[in-house]
Amino acid sequence: MNKKSITSPILGERFLRVEHPSGLTILLCPMEGYSTAYAMFSAKVGSIDTTFKTQREEDFVEVPAGIAHFLEHKMFECDDGDAFAKYAKTGASANAFTSFDRTAYLFSCTGNFRESLEILLDFVSRPYFTPETVQKEQGIIGQEIRMYDDDPGWRSLFNLLGALYHVNPVRLDIAGTTESIAQITSDLLYRCYHTFYSLGNMVLTVAGNFRPEEVLETADKILRKGEEVRIQWRKAEEPREVAAPYVEQSLSVSTPLFQLGFKGEAGDSLTNLRRQVVDEILLEILCGESSPLYRRLYDSGLINGTFEYEVLAGRDYLCCMYGGESREPKKVREAICQEARRMAAEGIDPDAFRRCKKSTYGRYIGMFSRVESVASLMMGAYFAGLENMYELLDYVRDLTLPELETRLREDLDPRYSALSVVNPA
């Protein structure tokens, strides 16, 4: 068993990287003085992984949209009962999520850590699908899809992604459609499971109040080495231009809801992780709460306290977004695009750069004080190909003004923007 201790000279903290004999990478960060332990067992698969091949196939396999999310739902059912019922006996709080490029199963607890970890490793390692239970789940997830179809915030986001992207599967709803999930069978679920849930394509991250020996002993007890699976993903040939500059929908809202997105030139996961950190600083400078533009928009009533920004970045996709409520979202778009063009021509204010860089640096340091954030950071950095999660602090510390101005011209170019609006019905 190969073990490596990785230390942050800035924080004076460390985590342990273990290459387990089963083929699983385990990342452990004990945090002295904390009462909670937080564990995540994650697979490098998400909603965008609908076309892939392994060494077993001669050609690429195409599976229905939403199958990663469907698989996440089904994993909690075991041949000997439901995993949530087992967690109820240990007192742990358990959950799971599927994003565009990863799926995670997690729990937090203040006691019975070893028992809860055994449940996690056991049910994720033992799939149990039958035609009857798959059919039942199709009805449950179908209801969930219809619920999200009526959710203004959700529709605003995915309408935007559909406007930004022509063919990249990030444009598709994570849960799929009622038509796509109707094509899912137990055989397809097993095929995807044995492809993406091979231990070499997963990572276990644990942070907080636990002993590393407990984790390794539990892994030794439950995990077994399987066949190595070499996965090849098909990259979508996405053009630089947006699919549509504007899209709108009517739903039950009192005030129009909008999402303004800028389509970046996406790279690989590691490149996009660094660009995500940089672009967060850029969005704060351009129209964050401390910016002059934010104050002008807020004082004029064009935006309110719901206004926020986010960077979506992962394997082969990157976009920067502003969103919130506004009675005149087109005016908000024009103001932000105009400010982006002005900053690209005149340069970014050095004082604003220093202020927002320090603010972001402090925010990232704060993330290392929360057990759930540490576990998530270890997982995200690992899947992006970054061995040391503490390098995220270096990304912020070493950022220069010329580099940020380059990112402004490439990632916030108004020519590659789209506006999604949900109007009152």
List residues with catalytic annotation.
72
Element of type H or E holding 204: strand 202-208
The pairing of strands 417-424 and 257-263 is antiparallel
Burial label for 298, CB within 10 Å (0-12, 13-18, 19+), is middle
* Helix, strand, or coil (residue 28): strand
Count of Cβ atoms closer than 10 Å to residue 144 Cβ: 14
Give the closest residue to 259 by CA, choosing from 333, 178, 170, 335: 333
Q: Retrieve residue 120's tokens.
A: 């996690």
Give the closest residue to 34 by CA, choosing from 374, 378, 377, 392: 374
Instruction: Kindly give the residue spans of alpha helices, DSSP state H, lying in 252-390.
Output: 269-287, 292-299, 329-346, 350-367, 371-384
Q: Which residues of 347-368 are buried (b: 16+ CB within 10 A; e: fewer)?
A: ebeeebbebbbebbbeebeeeb
CA distance 398 to 400: 6
Burial label for 115, CB within 10 Å (0-12, 13-18, 19+), is middle
Count of Cβ atoms closer than 10 Å to residue 139 Cβ: 11
Give the closest residue to 314 by CA, choosing from 233, 211, 413, 422: 233
